[in-house]
Chains A and B, each alone.
Chain A
Amino acid sequence: MILKRLLDWLAGYWPEWAAYVVVGLVGIMVLIAFFLTMIMVVIWLERKLIGRFQVRWGPNRAGPWGILQPIADAIKVLTKEDIVPDRADKWVHLLAPVVAFVPPLLIFAVIPFQPDAILADLNIGILYVVAVGSIAVVGAFMAGWGSSNKYSLISAMRVAAQMVSYEVPLVLSIIGVILVVGSLSMMDIVNRQSLPFFLMQPLGFLVFFLAAAAEVNRSPFDLLEAESEIIAGYHVEYSGMKFALFYLGEYGHALAASALVTALFLGGGKFPWGALPPSFIWFLAKMVLVFCVLFWIRSTLPRLRVDQFTGFAWKFLFPMSLINIFLVGTELWWAKEMGWSLFPWPFLFLNWAIAGMLVLVWPKLFQLGVGRVEV
């Protein structure tokens, strides 16, 4: 690891704790700079792509191809008046953006960009990600409550309902990966993927991708900020940099989700041939690709209703994730009994066949959202 080597080198000159703190801060600064830059790039890319999806140009005034647009936005948002409603719960209102912003950044501590570029390869890596990610909902709730705005509160309730429904399939679909890897460390998960896991467990990949898309509130799952129903959701009463913190947190979470999809199911920084580009370039490329698929889904599908939304999680994703666990578990046990060291190809085809069949047949068992609903 780069950080480890830096630490050893510095510890030769300085007291150990000083070397440790300085090395840690260097790593963290690089990580945060990367985080903020990536968010700016992704915001520009999203606006550009969504523009093309909707047959318009997207931003094209600030700089060549509108590339300076995120910077212009940042300056604009920095110079906006900070408005706090009189009736708001001032402290909760103030702290909510902080709570919403920090967890997505913390997730990036364990994202394995490259074997030697990871801030902390924790033993419980993926569990840490799940745990930290579940804190973000508290920020949204604080915002909804603290603003004492009815629309904000409705949105906050929806955020929580969303998290409650989609957390379980999300967490369960990761189990399939851990079964194969036998470790929770993110680095181990990437290293074990001689074959990307989405080929091996298409069902788990599907569930994880959809649940992650829902958890980060990308449309069609963005009913918590449905403009046509509840203005802008839990951050209606925020302006200036506080709003920017929510925005950063939201995009940070979406980035973290696509990084997770990359690390867990697309082989992380691994690539099928050669060693020419360093592996973090591959990681970034895959991550941006996943993000673009999220844009694509966003610009294609209309928004879901609350009943359809929760029904989809409980009636489709949840059973699918359980089936995936036992499919993978049984196959692994069988492969071990037969003494096969590698995951055999017939299982792969079997998994795809079962996944395809379930996706086609299972939705016939229920109907999503019939009739009138109250929220």
Chain B
Amino acid sequence: MSSVKSRSRNLIGVFMAVTFLQAGAEEPAAATSLYSVVDGYKVDSATMKGFRAWRAGACDRCHGANQEGMVGPSLINSLKVLSKEEFVKTVTEGRLEKGMVAFKTSKIVMDNMDNLYAYLKGRSDGAITRAKVEELKP
């Protein structure tokens, strides 16, 4: 959705900490205070940990492998409206009546809450263009 991409470029302009361009890259690199991504799928190590927590929680079973929504809502949309605090509360305590697990006893999810938020925000922003990410080589 082109409107999302142009919005993320505006966000980059506002939040930009470090940007760099690579010759031949399809996407310009994006960096925010939350995440860094190159080519749309190479991310910093913290965001990579967030991806691993996403996998460990088996979140795709309800939210879709691309966060697009299945029986659970689209996280592409949800991360646009939830505050960070609301996100943390929802993941920690679940939404039991709607079928969402309370992840408070999952060490990998709780230890990587900020990283998970960064990964999902990157997906929602459209800066991370695919679900499966790889770690940026140093």
**Is this pair of chains taken from one and the same complex?**
no
- On B, residues with C-beta under 8 Å from A are none
- On A, residues with C-beta under 8 Å from B are none
